[in-house]
Chain A
Amino acid sequence: MQLWMIFLPVLAALFMPLLFKKIKLHTGWFVFIVPVVLVSYYVSKIGERASYASWTWVADLQLKIDSSLDGLGLLFSILISGIGALVVLYSIFYLDKTKEQLHNFYIYLLLFMTAMLGVVQSDNVISLYLFWELTSISSFLLIGYWFTRDGSRFGALKSMMITVFGGLLMLGGFLILANITGTLSISEMMLQTSVIQESPYFTLAAVLVLLGALTKSAQFPFYIWLPDAMEAPTPVSAYLHSATMVKAGIYLVARFTPIFAYNTTWIWLIVVLGLITLFWGSFFATKQRDLKGILAFSTVSQLGMIMSMLGVAAMSYHVEDGVENVFKFAGFAALFHLINHSTFKGALFMIAGIIDHETGTRDIRKLGGLMSIMPISFTVAMIGSLSMAGLPPFNGFLSKELFFTTMLNAQDFSFASIATLIPVAAWIASIFTFVYCLYFVTGIFFGKQQELPKKPHEAPIGMLISPIILASFVVIMFFIPNVITDALIKPAVLAIQPNLFVAVSDVDIHLQAWHGFVPELWMTLGVIAVGFALFMTVKHWRKIYTIVPEWFSLNQLYRRMMRLADEDMTKLSKLYMTGSIRMYFIYMFAAIVVIVLSTLFIKDGYAFSTDNVSKIGPFDIALVVVLVVGTFTVLFARTRLTAIIALGVVGYSVAMFFVLFNAPDLALTQLSIETVSVALFLLAFYHLPKLSRHEARLPFKLGNFVIAAAVGVMVTLMALAAHSQKLLPSISEYYKETVYKEAGGGNIVNVILVDYRGFDTLFEITVLALAGMAIFGMIKLRRKKGEHHNETK
């Protein structure tokens, strides 16, 4: 049952084309059932003990598809299915059945839902990786949903490149972990933390897994794909690129904290990169002109915030004073803000979609003064933005206070005095968050109304249901936070900080909106004051965004890398893949010479000895002279006729060598074959170039000469070395002794050819037959002029 729930969306996806083509009702209504079933199933699991189900896939390789519903898995599962239900509901009113290919959309969306549930419930690292890549692929498909637009395709490709890059590195980290521990199960790896810590590859594995998380969660410097992913339909942006998929990286960090938290590199990378992302995203959000662009950068920034809190949570592994220590809030705060962010960011994206839908533009410069026209959207946007800015009475206030508590505590982390900068950075980033939240709301709803592509009016109620539900969550969670934290967050905290808490009752954190005049409150007041001042003067300091030129940005870096991989690599390969066979010959011969000679001398294989050499007779020398002169004649021949005849001379002298070295069969064969060959050469010569009458001597080329000479020297050295060190006697004694007894023959060569090693001869006959048929085919079968393909009559 538990396992089937993961695959429910994908099974439902199978029916989508049928439902879309045959039934007039909007396909989304059928899809809507799936997340509703899922969310009710997962909500019913709240409070139960962690449950585990698995299906063994490949037993020999420990591959399992499994579902482990502990606190963390359940929290994410509810988030995925809950927001999934609201997004499907919203998409029913957002996407028009008559204009859109809805079955594609919902298949991708359901595929994504399965992938995401698989990611958060997998205990097996390999199945985690498989589902992880499935989220990348379904996200790719969804971003490129309007595939006729250039921007969609560019955004889809970019997100695919970056997230798959991270995913592959993460797989590397997983494999290292699996190699160290001998298991693929994450929960079993956690039992072996001491073994993992002793491994020299501990830091490497941590960094690789972290890179997977950073790319997926759009952390600095990998955030660049997220703003371009805004080309997707708005329900997708709301679902994937704010509430769920981008939190897969957060999930991964949280899940692996009990393993990697012992590594300080891991902690500092998360904290520092998280804070940089937080600041960077909030700073550049105000620069954006596009509503979804602002929200994309704000998502980046909020994800950085969650990430940095998880980093602080990992610090608790390095202190010893138990539950009382100052880092105990961090994991709790991270997860609390994770839920809060999903609620308000989902609502804000839906509002942005509504604005786009009802006015025809998402450019904040063209929008304004919509407050009285779209009061419900305005209210929801206001709630979402103020929650994002961290103001009461919204849930963002509680998580922002917790965030400040976390960061103030982080400076107590003993082994870095630089840690005092952490709360300062967090505070400045929060100011910019406040600024862009105001910018977002006032840009749309305040000021004067301008000319718009469509006449604006309030959205249909169906479209507003989902954002209203999310916005009411934002408010409810401020007033009764502890209901949700007790049910969902405290069990999940156990998964992150099992070193501090063993049971849910151990997590003695009680949220309340008012806790006296603590530093956090003053920080919030400071944020509001400075943020408001900055917002009022935004016209004056906006120039700051133009200081850094466009070519210096990370997007340009990405483009350059893509160009490097594409154009520059093509240029490089064109440089040596010239199309000239001679060049390839030169590469090959040079490589052979280098490899053979270096092996011969480095491995001490060369030897020279004059033992076992036979005498040189006068006839030998004469024949050598004939052969060498014949070869020289071939080289220096002015006409081809000379070259062919000289080749014949060489062939006949080889035959004479065979006579001299007591090989009568060879001599016979060589003589006859050389004769036929020369005849063939002459035939070819007779038919060849009339045009190249100006036959010339082979021109001298130094490069060719050097290569050829090197090959010759190599062969000579090999021959000398091989002859000088004979290790074993020949097996030919056996043939000599048994040739008559066993085979009844006297000519040993012939008996070897047809008896001892008859198979060689069989296939050599085949070679001749093939050559004959091929020659026949080449001469007889030819394409007639004007015809181009497929005729072999």
Chain B
Amino acid sequence: MEILMAFVIGFLFFAAIYLILSKSLLRIIIGTGLLSHGAHMLILTMGGLGSDAPPVLADGVSNSSMADPLPQALILTAIVISFGVTAFFLVLAYRAYQELKTDNIDEMRGEEHDE
């Protein structure tokens, strides 16, 4: 499963980078969304996938059969941060569109010798 996931994550990264290299601001933000999905899955996969129970103390569950809790805690933090950043980006894109009347980043260039 981990090997399959490695390929899936690679594919997610590929799609994310391809979108980030596009011209439309919205597609770039979608790309960053895919990129954070890929990163979260990568953390989880690297922690090991073969568990039988969630990391919650319960009767009849041994420590060894529990999933590793540390990557999960890391991902939880990462999800919240990436959400904050994505929300910020989206509003930034929205404002940029309002001010500049474009969402094409090739048209968003500073003037030469812009102070």
Interface positions of A (Cβ within 8 A of B): 579-582, 585-586, 589, 610, 612-616, 620, 624, 627-628, 631-632, 634-635, 640, 643-644, 647, 650-651, 654, 657-658, 661-666, 669-670, 673, 676-677, 680-681, 683-685, 687-689, 691-692, 698, 701, 704-705, 707-709, 711-716, 719-720, 722-723, 730-733, 735-737, 739-740, 746-749, 752-753, 757, 760-761, 764, 767-768, 770-772, 774-775, 778-779
Contact = CB atoms under 8 A, between A and B. Distances in A.
B53 A662 contact: yes
Given A613-B3, A716-B9, 9 more contacts: A643-B26, A651-B37, A673-B79, A680-B90, A681-B30, A701-B21, A711-B17, A716-B7, A736-B69
A435 B73 CA distance: 90
A755 to B, nearest CB: 11
Nearest to A578: B109
Contacts of A774: 88
Nearest to A678: B33
A377 B94 CA distance: 81
A638 to B, nearest CB: 12
Interface string B10-33: 111111111111111011011001
A732 B55 CA distance: 10
Contacts of B95: 778-779
Contact of A615 (B1, B9, B10): B1
A683 B87 CA distance: 11
A772 B91 CA distance: 10
Contacts of B30: 634, 643-644, 647, 681
B69 to A, nearest CB: 4
Contacts of A760: 73, 77
A689 B7 CA distance: 36
Nearest to A783: B99
Nearest to B67: A662
Interface residues of B, number: 85
A748 B49 contact: no
A665 B66 contact: no
A681 B90 contact: yes
A771 B55 contact: no
Interface string B33-77: 110011011101111111111111110000100111110110111
Nearest to B70: A732
Contacts of B26: 640, 643, 681, 684-685, 688
30 contacts: A586-B21, A589-B17, A612-B48, A614-B1, A624-B8, A631-B11, A661-B44, A666-B75, A669-B80, A673-B79, A676-B83, A677-B33, A680-B86, A683-B94, A689-B97, A708-B14, A708-B18, A715-B13, A715-B38, A716-B7, A719-B42, A720-B3, A723-B6, A730-B47, A746-B56, A747-B56, A747-B57, A748-B57, A771-B87, A775-B91
A707 B43 CA distance: 23
A757 B73 contact: yes
Contacts of A685: 26
Given A684-B94, A688-B97, A704 B22 contact: yes
A658 B50 CA distance: 13
Contacts of A631: 11-12, 15, 34
A662 B51 contact: yes
Closest 3 A/B residue pairs (Cβ): A614-B50, A712-B14, A716-B10
B34 A719 contact: no
B13 A581 contact: no
Contact of B106 (A582, A586, A730): A582
Contacts of B105: 580-582
> Which of B3, B20, B45, B52 has the most C-beta atoms of chain A within 10 angstroms of its own C-beta?
B3
Contacts of A582: 21, 23, 105-106
B37 A654 contact: yes
Given A651-B37, A684-B93, A778-B91, A616 B69 contact: no
A661 B49 CA distance: 6
A624 B12 CA distance: 11
B106 A662 contact: no
B26 to A, nearest CB: 6
Nearest to B52: A662
B1 A711 contact: no
Contacts of B46: 719, 722-723
B49 A614 contact: yes
